[in-house]
Structure 1
Amino acid sequence: MSTSPNTLKQRLFLGFAPDESQRRQLQALQRELQHQQTTPQGWRPVLKDNLHLTLAFLGNASPEQRRELELGIGQMHKPRFAQRLERLQLWRGPGVLCLGGHTEDDGLLQLYRDSQTLAGTLGLQQSEHGFHPHITLFRKAKAGQLPTLSPEPLTLKPEQLHLYWSESTPSGVRYRILHSWDLG
Structure 2
Amino acid sequence: MSDKPDSTARVFFALWPNAAERAALAGWQPPLRELCGGRAMLAANLHNTLVFIGNIAEHRLEALKLAAQEVEAERFKLRFDLARYWGHNHIVFAAPHSAPPQLAQLVHDLEQHLERHRFRFDRRDYKPHITLLRHAKWSDSPLPEMPAVPWPVHDFVLVQSPQQEGDSHYRVLARFPLTPRP
Give TM-score scaled by structure 1 length. 0.83
Q: Which amino acid aligns with 1:133?
A: P
Pair 1:21 & 2:15 matched:
no
Task: Read off the aligned partner of 1:144 and give its amino acid letter.
Answer: W
CA offsets, 1:128-165, max 9 Å, x none? 2x111111101123x33366311111122122211000
Matched, 1:97 2:64: no
- Code of the residue aligned with 1:18 in structure 2: it is P
Hey, what's the Cα distance between the residues in 2 that align with 1:170 and 1:19?
Answer: 26
Question: CA deviation digits over 1:17-49, x for unaligned, max 9?
Answer: 212112221222112223xx2022xx1101011
Partner of residue 121, structure 2: 125
1:163 paired residue number: 158
Provide the C-alpha distance between the structure 2 equivalents of 1:8 and 1:124, rounded to a whole number of angstroms.
17
Consecutive unaligned residues of structure 1, counting only runs of 5 or more, are 1-6
Aligned pair partner of 1:69 in 58, 64, 67:
64
Aligned partner of 2:138 in structure 1 is: 144
Please tell me the residue identity of whatever aligns with 1:164.
V
* Change in 2 beyond 3 A, CA 1:10/1:31: same
Match of 1:11 in 2: 10
What amino acid maps onto 1:114 in structure 2? Answer: D
- 1:123 counterpart letter in structure 2: F
In structure 2, runs of 5+ residues without a counterpart are 1-5
What are the Cα deviations for residues 30-79 of structure 1, in whole angstroms up to 9, with x where unaligned?
12223xx2022xx1101011011111111111224322211111111032
- TM superposition score normalised by structure 2: 0.84
Partner-residue secondary structure (3-state), 2:64: helix
1:75-114 matches, within 5 Å, as: 75-114=70-109
RMSD over aligned Cα, in angstroms? 2.0
Which whole-Å CA distance do the structure 1 matches of 2:143 and 2:132 have between them? 15
Q: Tell whether the 8 Å contact from 2:82 to 2:97 is kept in structure 1 after alignment.
A: no
Q: 1:38 aligned to 2:35?
A: yes
Taking the aligned partners of 1:32 and 1:102, their CA distance within structure 2 comes to: 20
Q: CA deviation at 1:103?
A: 4.3
Q: How far apart are the structure 1 equivalents of 2:89 and 2:167?
A: 17
